[in-house]
Each structure stands twice: as structure tokens, then as C-alpha cells.
Amino acid sequence: MPRKLSPSLENFVENYSGSIKNKVINGIRSGEKRFIFNGPSGSGKTFLAEAMANSMGLPFQRINVYTLENVEDLNISDIIFNTVYNAAVSSSLLQANGKLILIEDLEKVLSVDPSILSKLGGIENSIIIFESSSGEIFRSKYKKSLQGYEIIRFYRLNERIMTVYAKKILALNGMSLNDGTVARIVKNAKGNINSMMSDIYTLYITGSIETGINDRYSENTIFELINRVLLSKNPDRVLDFSTDGEAKNFEIWLSEKLPQVFHKDKLFLSYDAISFCDMLLMKIRKQNWGLLKYINFILFDAINSLYTGENVNIDFSAPNWNAYYSS
């Protein structure tokens, strides 16, 4: 397994240097002991919690509410509370300074019983951090329950920071890759450090660039596929979307190309097809995967008609996604 950076405050990375880290450090200095780390998966929430514990010399403990053992005569709310309480309050002399406890999935805790959070407020010793990955906690009905907790927001890392981080990891493991490959890994990970680490792991094992990189989000490679289909003039349906994200990107790509080829009623009909696909995609997000095949066909047919349509120069390169999505 490739070596990772050890969790220390120096190794923590964020988009704007120090903005998240200092908030937590200052909070703890001024005596705060309850935090909520809110942000997408792979943005460094766990890393920062562990780094804080290390820098303060506190034992670090993670609690996952899904893996708690069932205890008879107790409801789930009590089981969660007891687990956290027992972890936080320890009679051992060695732990006189308390612990730093990280509890995963705040949303689950809130859905079980929001009052757990305020009940934990009384425990003096330990620092308790809840981890949350959605906007659910900002709903007004939870406002009261979250009182006394400082919410720290984490963001997906930008490509510049990711690149620096990737190079650090590669150097640490004595791997050397050219800039183009590093850029591919970074793009592929979409700001998620864990994804990037997994991809570096794959490269570490396979040792070759060609087969090493996972196409984690095939949205990125779908254009290569389209090009291959079009250039080989192969009418066989080799194109197959495996995620709604792929279809979505393809849709946007098509909607950019259509006006270059069609006009008036033809243009309307083709946009009609795409807007219909767009609506179906919404359903697919609710797990109706059976519908994807229709989208697959309609969009593919659309691209075929682009191909067999009037003789127009079509730019088959991918559009600039950032213009559509500033994610």
C-alpha cells in the first residue's frame, strides 16, 4: 500500500490556506468543545479531526452509529447516547484530559433523536465532533438541536491544491509521473482526496499509465467513446451509458451541437427529444435504472442524425464544462 501523509496540522490541505484549520484551532483555544464538520466526502474532515487530536496529544476515537451493538431494553437513541457518553467520560487517570471523539453521519443521529446533541453538551472533558456530509443539517427544524455546536464547513478541493497534494504523495512513495498523468488523476478525482488516493494506489500496483488510471467518472471519457463511434462510422450501438451523469453530460454536449446542424422544426424536434431525456434522468436518480436504455437510444439516435445530417463542420471536442457547471 502506498504511504499516506500522517495526520498532522501541517499536512492538512484546504483551498484557502488556514481558513478552516484556524477556525477550529481558535475555537478550541477559546474553550469550545463541540463542533460539526460539514462537507462533501473526501474533503478532509476526518483527517483534520485526527490531526487536531494528535497536535493536542488527545486520544482519538471514531464512532460509527451503524456498527453499534444492539443492547436489549434500550432504544437506539439511548444506545447512541451511551456509547458516546462512555467514550467521552473516562475515569482512567491516563485520560484525564479527555479525548477527541469523531461521530460519523450526523444526519443519522438527527433522524434518530435530535436531542442527543444537547444531552451531550454537559460532558466537560472531551472534544466531540460530528461529521456531516449533506445540507440536511441546515434545515430550520434542527436549528435548536445544534445550538452550542460550531459548524465548520469543508469544500471540495480545487485542482491546484489537489495537484500539489498528489505530487507530495507521489514523491513520498518514490513514484514519478509526468504532469499530464498527474493532471488526469486530479481531474478524475473531482476534488475528492480519497478518490485520488485510490487512483494513486491503482497506479502503484499496476505500475503502468495506460491501464492504471480508473475512469472513475466515465463522464470524462464518454467523449472519447463518441468520437470513436463517429470516426469509425460504426452504426452498431457500442455506446452505453452506465451512469446518469454520463447521459447528462452527453445531453449538454448535444444541445451545444444541435443548432450547428438543424434549423427550425428539426431543431425543435431534436431539442424536444433532449428535454424529454432530461426529465427522464430525473426519474433515474430515484433508482429507476430501466429508463436509462431509452435515453441511451434517443441520444444516440440524435448523434447519428448529427452524423448523417447536413454537411456541416462539427466540433467533436468536448465543450467547456465549467461554463455549464461551476462545481
Partner 1 sequence: MVLWVEKYRPSSFKDIIGQKESVDKLSAMVSKKEIQHMILSGPPGVGKTTSAVVLAKSLFGENMWSQNFIELNASDDRKLSVIQGKVKEFARTKPIDAPFKIILFDEADSLTQEAQQALRRMMEEYSGTCRFVFSVNYQNNIIEPIQSRCAILRFHPLTREDVFTFIRRIAKEEELDVDEQSMDALYYVSKGDLRALTNLLQSLSSVSKKITADVVYTQSGILDAGRIKEGLKKAVSGDYAGARKVFLEIMDSGVNIKELLASVFEIIVSSDDIVDRKFRSYVIEKLAETDYRVIEGATPFIQFQSFLAFLSTVKG
DSSP string, 291-309: GHHHHHHHHHHHHHHHHHS
Determine the length of the chain.
327
At 43, which amino acid appears? S
**Rg of the chain in Å (alpha carbons):** 25
Q: Which of 297, 307, 310, 312 binds partner 1 (CB under 8 A)?
A: 297
Interhelix angle 193-206/179-189, nearest 10 degrees: 130
Q: Which of 41, 75, 115, 147 binds partner 1 (CB under 8 A)?
A: 41
Instruction: Considering only residues 175 through 194, tell me which ones interact with partner 1, judged by CB under 8 A.
Output: 192, 194
Instruction: Considering only residues 74 through 133, tell me which ones interact with partner 1, judged by CB under 8 A.
Output: 104-105, 108, 133
Task: Indicate the residue among 33 and 244 with the shorter CB distance to partner 1.
Answer: 244
**Strand, coil or helix: what is 103?**
strand
Q: How far apart are CA 121 and CA 209, in angstroms?
A: 51
State the binding string over 45-84 for partner 1 (x if CB under 8 A, else -): -----------------x-x-xx--x--------------
Q: Which of 136, 215, 224, 310 binds partner 1 (CB under 8 A)?
A: 215
Q: Is 27 left (phi over 0), alpha (psi -120 to 50) or beta?
A: alpha
In the complex, least distance from residue 273 CB atom to partner 1, rounded to whole angstroms: 6
Q: Which of 49, 100, 199, 253 binds partner 1 (CB under 8 A)?
A: 199
**Taking the CB of residue 133, how many other CB atoms lie within 10 A of it?**
19
In the complex, least distance from residue 31 CB atom to partner 1, rounded to whole angstroms: 31
Q: Is 222 in the site for partner 1 (CB under 8 A)?
A: no
In the complex, least distance from residue 249 CB atom to partner 1, rounded to whole angstroms: 14
State the binding string over 235-264 for partner 1 (x if CB under 8 A, else -): -x-x-x-xxxx-------------------
Q: Which stretch binds partner 1 (CB under 8 A): 26-34, 78-86, 151-159, 287-295?
A: 287-295
Q: Which of 3, 232, 293, 307 binds partner 1 (CB under 8 A)?
A: 293
Do 32 and 150 meet the contact criterion of CB atoms below 8 Å apart? yes
Q: Is 302 in the site for partner 1 (CB under 8 A)?
A: yes
Q: Is 231 in the site for partner 1 (CB under 8 A)?
A: no
Do 110 and 145 meet the contact criterion of CB atoms below 8 Å apart? yes
Q: Which residues in the chain belong to E strands, given as ranges?
A: 34-38, 60-64, 100-104, 127-132, 150-153
Q: How far apart are CA 303 and CA 307, in angstroms?
A: 6
Do 60 and 50 meet the contact criterion of CB atoms below 8 Å apart? yes
Q: Is 216 in the site for partner 1 (CB under 8 A)?
A: yes
DSSP string, 34-68: EEEEE--TTSSHHHHHHHHHHHHT--EEEEEGGGP
In the complex, least distance from residue 28 CB atom to partner 1, rounded to whole angstroms: 25
In the complex, least distance from residue 40 CB atom to partner 1, rounded to whole angstroms: 8
Q: How far apart are CA 19 and CA 12, in angstroms?
A: 11
* Chain positions contacting partner 1, by CB under 8 A: 1, 40-42, 62, 64, 66-67, 70, 104-105, 108, 133, 192, 194-195, 198-199, 201-202, 205-208, 211-212, 214-216, 218, 236, 238, 240, 242-245, 269, 272-273, 276, 280, 283, 287-291, 293-295, 297-298, 301-302, 305
